[in-house]
Amino acid sequence: MSMNSFTGNRALVIEEPLIFEQGEPQRSGVDLPQAPEIADRLGGLERQGAIGLPGLAEPECVRHYTRLSQKNFGIDTGFYPLGSCTMKHNPRLNEKAARLPGFSGVHPLQPASTVQGALEAISLLGRWLMDLTGMPAIAMSPAAGAHGELCGLMAIRAAHEDRGDARQIVLVPESAHGTNPATATLCGYQVVSIPANEKGRVDLAALKAKLDNKVAALMLTNPNTCGLFESEILEIASAVKAAGAYFYCDGANFNAIVGRVKVADLGIDAMHINLHKTFSTPHGGGGPGAGPVVLSERLKAYAPVPFVRTGENGLELVEHCLGDGEKSFGRMKGFHGQFGVMIRSLAYILSMGGNGLWQASSDAVLNANYLLARLSVELTPSFPDGPCMHEALFDDRFLKDTGVTTLDFAKAMIDEGFHPMTMYFPLVVHGALLMEPTETESKQTLDLYVDTLLSLARKAKAGGAADDFKAAPRMTPRRRLDETRAARSPVLRWKASE
Amino acid sequence: MRFLPLTDADRADMLKAIGAASVEDLFCDVPASARQKGPLPLPEGLSEMEVERRLSTMASRNLTPGDVPCFLGAGAYRHHIPAAIDQLLLRGEFLTAYTPYQPEVSQGTLQYLFEFQTQVAMITGMEVANASLYDGATASAEAALMAARVTKRDKILLSGGLHPHYREVTATQARFTHLKVEALAPDPFGIEDLMGRIDAQTACVIVQLPGFFGHLKDYSALAKTCEAQGALLVVAVTEPVALGLIKPPGAMGADIVIGDGASLGVGLNFGGPGLGLMAVREKYVRQMPGRLIGETVDADGKRGWVLTLSTREQHIRREKATSNICTNSGLCALAFSMHMTFLGEAGFTNLAKLNHARAVQLAERLGALKGVKVLAGSFFNEFAVQLPKPATPVVEAMAARRILAGVPVSRFYPSWPELENVMLIAATETVTDEDMDALIEGLQGVLS
């Protein structure tokens, strides 16, 4: 980096070196009491030589992270219509609640008598998630959506094995998130893909043709990744059931239907719920999330440990596959699940109430349909024949012969102050642009976004603008990065120069 | 509702633009029989003040370790977190960002994850680390799967000194794949023989440092045996603060190091979220699960960072991916990395020394109690003790005196009567002389 910058540092966007390029070893941002003199009991295993960590004083640390934060786009920064990811506002009350010392400071292995409040929190959130879905059981420990998928499939496999009915295949629509087929493999299944029909839904005839006594389960995202409700879901469910298979629903898009659809009435056996999407907990740059799984009567007994139950002395944890947990498929997570995330969701549900949740899904769907309607003037909607749910899907036909790609279009949006939509997913349409506005955006924001996108589309279509699009973004802390170079000769850590 | 900006007038305008008569029309694809009938069985929404009151009451029903003497460990350790860390974590640009798929507007996240990867690699003594997994227990299962991919073998050998949750989660994962787990008996005395059990089918051996029962062992000889047999050595670390003072697994010859980083920056949170750590030898990096951040340059030739080697991952490789993980523990990785940065070399070393010194003092005082035996000769900040009576009622009686004395091992191993009197006890920098006095006095009362 140039040290005599005119001007590599642009006002608020200041170049910030790695921590390893700052400080010196004897400096520290933490003062500690002097350790008492003792004869060590390390058994000769003490470290030889320095680790090589840098030392920074507190003001240097604070400035480092503040500057890094200024190179990031978050929901707090601006509109973040990343399809399938549900970037809704993260209420700060959630954060305050999770930081109550009686929650944040509690150790997972205290005697049950000393953590009745914590067990009540897990139990109450579980109760409400069951009420919202109409499902009779819930596993609270899965750490994220993909982990919830694994939980559901493990319960399904355990149920089949319990009947001596070993099955090998899981059916996954081609529009599914990549986690679905990856999860099926991780659970020892072979994946068979199901095509979509011209309406963006599962091809029912093709599904039926693949259903036989080797099929353990169907994994179906509903509303699906095209932002559409699977209108033949009842027929799908009964066909799956008739084949002796289980119906796993990927609940990543549950936020579209909370309070409007009873999952239990769809014939579903298991569904994970991403607390970090539907229930407003922060995405945190990629986690942590939580993925509790609601289960049907048929799968209830196989739920993982631990779970909370009411005992003689109040609430208690069942931590082993004994007694009530006899048929449980086992443990899939350390301790008791993503407790801190659960508290945030609990604060959200308490804030919203039943009516608020109903209004949230209504507004989410309304906002998405508003984008769909207004943007269809210049962009090409993939499925224009009916309403969408919580997200609107476009493909790249509107960019045909312009020399501008979906990627270029997305990068140009960044310079206009918007985070891009999800690009090139789902794979069932060409050059996908998947936009999810969520319910926490105002009409003013949506109008500004729409007007900007329409202008960009017109500019692309007018011709001669391809180079301009390909040069975007220009206003960001970094311009387009060389991903090929990163993968060809990976540099995955800092190293001291010789 | 304070989170919803649309007004009724907005909604009416928008429906008009859409060409729908009502929001109900937008749900026309939902079968009539599956629509919610009647109001939701949930209470009315509450104001901020009311929610705070309700949750504060709930939280107050817990006994908080910060308020009482606390000696609990067993995979979750109470440490002091510098005040600045939480304030920085709450910056919206960190908190409310998603996975850095658009690197031009995610350099903050990408740079701190690159720094995190470097710190984890440094303290474990390994070549490279990933950008986090869920927690230590799931990292153990991922390590077993990874070792099976690398070696093309299927036997997983689990030490009796490995955390029982790591053992159970690995066994659960194995049950649903081709892996075969051989779990040795719990090993409170640190005397098990692993080397004799490694054979030509062994994909990996998973051990822990410091061990679940506290023991510090040099796994260098075990690493050599693994290498000779073509198996991988996986070393789990549930207390990363130990790495400020002890020989790192990388220097012992570990192939994969896994663990939980929640000790640094994250806090207890009743055990979740944790922070799954994984560091490996560079030659295995393409078999590694989870996200990786790599250095590159932008169109102007400036240094920057991107997600890289994504062809291992589910969103590209689908059923052929190395793992199904998508969301990981990003913000916890930031908390960990901040805490490491604030500490620095000197602070990290001093913190580890202080933890060890506290534990040594505690072991000496406990060893002087009648009928109490410290089971580990060497240890870091935690060790197992044998009590003269069953540990569970002792811990309950101590809790009644508002002292969180330790973790009964039978909570993990209820079917092992020989472990009934064994308790794990930890002392971190947060333990004061007064806390130790209270513990000793309490135990004298409860054990007499």
User: Can you give the pLDDT of all 448 residues of chain B as single tens digits?
Assistant: 999 999 999 999 999 999 999 999 999 999 999 998 878 889 999 999 999 999 999 999 999 999 999 999 999 999 999 999 999 999 999 999 999 999 999 999 999 999 999 999 999 999 999 999 999 999 999 999 999 999 999 999 999 999 999 999 999 999 999 999 999 999 999 999 999 999 999 999 999 999 999 999 999 999 999 999 999 999 999 999 999 999 999 999 999 999 999 999 999 999 999 999 999 999 999 999 999 999 999 999 999 999 999 988 888 889 999 999 999 999 999 999 999 999 999 999 999 999 999 999 999 999 999 999 999 899 999 999 999 999 999 999 999 999 999 999 999 999 999 999 999 999 999 999 999 999 999 999 999 8
Mean pLDDT across A170-192: 95
Asked if pLDDT for residue A25 goes beyond 90, the answer is no
Both A336 and A388 in a single domain?
Answer: no
- Give me Rg for the CA atoms of chain B: 25
Both A342 and A424 in a single domain?
Answer: no
Question: What does CATH list as the number for B83-339?
Answer: 3.40.640.10
Both A319 and A464 in a single domain?
Answer: no
CATH code at A126? 3.40.640.10
Nearest residue of A to residue B37 by CA position? Answer: A260
Nearest residue of B to residue A229 by CA position? Answer: B29
**Does ipTM exceed 0.85?**
yes
Among the partner-chain residues A357, A363, A486, the one whose CB lies closest to the CB of B296 is A486
Q: Please count the other Cβ atoms lying within 10 Å of the Cβ belonging to residue B389.
A: 12
Write out chain B residues lying below 8 Å of A375, CB-based: none
The residue to which tokens 């387009």 are assigned = A480
State the Cα–Cα distance between residues A155 and B329, nearest whole angstrom.
25
Residues 6+ apart with CB under 8 A from B17: A370, A373, A374
pLDDT for B33: 92
CA distance, residue B217 to nearest chain A CA (Å): 8
Is A419 in contact with B72 (Cβ distance < 8 A)?
A: no
Whether the CB-CB separation of A384 and A429 falls below 8 Å is answered with: no
CA distance, residue A412 to nearest chain B CA (Å): 11
Query: Alpha carbon A405 to chain centroid distance?
Result: 26
Q: Please count the other Cβ atoms lying within 10 Å of the Cβ belonging to residue A106.
A: 26
State the Cα–Cα distance between residues A491 and A398, nearest whole angstrom.
38
Among the partner-chain residues A143, A231, A372, the one whose CB lies closest to the CB of B29 is A231
Both A405 and A261 in a single domain?
Answer: no
| Ramachandran class of A126: left when φ > 0, alpha when ψ lies in -120 to 50, beta otherwise | alpha
Query: With the C-alpha atoms ordered B93, B99, B102, B104, is the resulting torsion angle positive or negative?
Result: positive
Whether the CB-CB separation of A336 and A306 falls below 8 Å is answered with: yes
* Domain end position, chosen among A348, A370, A392: A348
Q: Which residues of B35-60 are buried (b: 16+ CB within 10 A; e: fewer)?
A: ebeeebebeebbebeebbebbeebbe
Is A61 in contact with B166 (Cβ distance < 8 A)?
A: no
> Tell me, what amino acid is at A309?
R
Among the partner-chain residues A38, A233, A335, the one whose CB lies closest to the CB of B361 is A38
CA distance, residue A325 to nearest chain B CA (Å): 14
Question: Could you read off the pLDDT of A27-78 as tens digits, one per residue?
Answer: 999 999 999 999 999 999 999 999 999 999 999 999 999 999 999 999 999 9
State the Cα–Cα distance between residues A148 and B20, nearest whole angstrom.
36
Residue A358 lies in a domain: no
State the Cα–Cα distance between residues A450 and A448, nearest whole angstrom.
6
Q: How many domains does chain A have?
A: 3
Write out chain B residues lying below 8 Å of A55, CB-based: 344-347
The boundaries of the domain holding residue A116 are 94-348
Q: Are strands B232-237 and B202-208 parallel, antiparallel or unpaired?
A: parallel
pLDDT for A239: 98
**Nearest CA to B304 among B119, B128, B114, B116?**
B114
A193 beta partners:
A172
pLDDT for A267: 96
State the Cα–Cα distance between residues B42 and B49, nearest whole angstrom.
19
Both A302 and A344 in a single domain?
Answer: yes
| Structure tokens, A443 | 């009409």
CA distance, residue B228 to nearest chain A CA (Å): 24
| Cα dist from A59 to A17, A30, A62, A111, B86, whole Å | 15, 11, 5, 40, 15
Residues 6+ apart with CB under 8 A from A137: A130, A294, A295, A296, A297, A299, A300, A303
Among the partner-chain residues B105, B357, B407, the one whose CB lies closest to the CB of A419 is B105
Q: How confident is the model at residue A498 (pLDDT cuts 50, 70, 90)?
A: low
Is A150 in contact with B298 (Cβ distance < 8 A)?
A: no
> Between 3.40.50.970, 3.30.1490.100, 2.70.150.10, 3.90.1150.10, what CATH number should domain B67-81+344-447 receive?
3.90.1150.10
Is A100 in contact with B175 (Cβ distance < 8 A)?
A: no
Q: Are strands B407-408 and B422-426 parallel, antiparallel or unpaired?
A: antiparallel
Both A431 and A300 in a single domain?
Answer: no
Interface test with B, best of A31, A82, A92, A110 (most B CBs within 10 A): A110
Whether the CB-CB separation of B277 and B284 falls below 8 Å is answered with: no
State the Cα–Cα distance between residues A269 and A247, nearest whole angstrom.
5
Residue A373 lies in a domain: no
Residue A297 lies in a domain: yes
Interface test with B, best of A9, A13, A69 (most B CBs within 10 A): A69
pLDDT for A12: 86
Is B97 in contact with A441 (Cβ distance < 8 A)?
A: no
Write out chain A residues lying below 8 Å of B343, CB-based: 28-30, 53
Q: How many CA atoms lie within 13 A of A249 on its CB side?
A: 30
Residue A498 lies in a domain: no
Is B5 in contact with A442 (Cβ distance < 8 A)?
A: yes
| Structure tokens, B20 | 């729908």
Write out chain A residues lying below 8 Å of B248, CB-based: 47
Whether the CB-CB separation of B248 and B219 falls below 8 Å is answered with: no
State the Cα–Cα distance between residues A330 and B169, nearest whole angstrom.
8
Among the partner-chain residues B11, B108, B270, the one whose CB lies closest to the CB of A68 is B108
Whether the CB-CB separation of A224 and A175 falls below 8 Å is answered with: yes
Asked if pLDDT for residue A430 goes beyond 90, the answer is yes
Both A250 and A310 in a single domain?
Answer: yes
Is B46 in contact with A177 (Cβ distance < 8 A)?
A: no
Is A108 in contact with B270 (Cβ distance < 8 A)?
A: yes
Query: Alpha carbon A212 to chain centroid distance?
Result: 32
Residue A366 lies in a domain: no
Both A230 and A336 in a single domain?
Answer: yes
Is B92 in contact with A75 (Cβ distance < 8 A)?
A: yes
Both A11 and A154 in a single domain?
Answer: no
Both A329 and A408 in a single domain?
Answer: no
Both A341 and A396 in a single domain?
Answer: no
pLDDT for A3: 59
Is A76 in contact with B330 (Cβ distance < 8 A)?
A: no
Among the partner-chain residues B30, B100, B244, the one whose CB lies closest to the CB of A285 is B100
- State which H helix or E strand residue A218 sits in: strand A215-221
Is A330 in contact with B168 (Cβ distance < 8 A)?
A: yes
Both A394 and A269 in a single domain?
Answer: no
Is A107 in contact with B357 (Cβ distance < 8 A)?
A: no
Whether the CB-CB separation of B293 and B107 falls below 8 Å is answered with: no
Is B327 in contact with A366 (Cβ distance < 8 A)?
A: no
CA distance, residue A462 to nearest chain B CA (Å): 26
| Structure tokens, B139 | 């990292």
Write out chain A residues lying below 8 Å of B293, CB-based: 492
Asked if pLDDT for residue A245 goes beyond 90, the answer is yes
Is A360 in contact with B3 (Cβ distance < 8 A)?
A: yes
The residue to which tokens 């500004």 are assigned = A448
Going from N- to C-terminal start, the domains of chain B cover: 67-81+344-447, 83-339
Among the partner-chain residues B134, B247, B316, the one whose CB lies closest to the CB of A143 is B134
Classify residue A288 by its DSSP letter.
-
Write out chain B residues lying below 8 Å of A64, CB-based: 341
* Domain end position, chosen among A39, A71, A103: A71
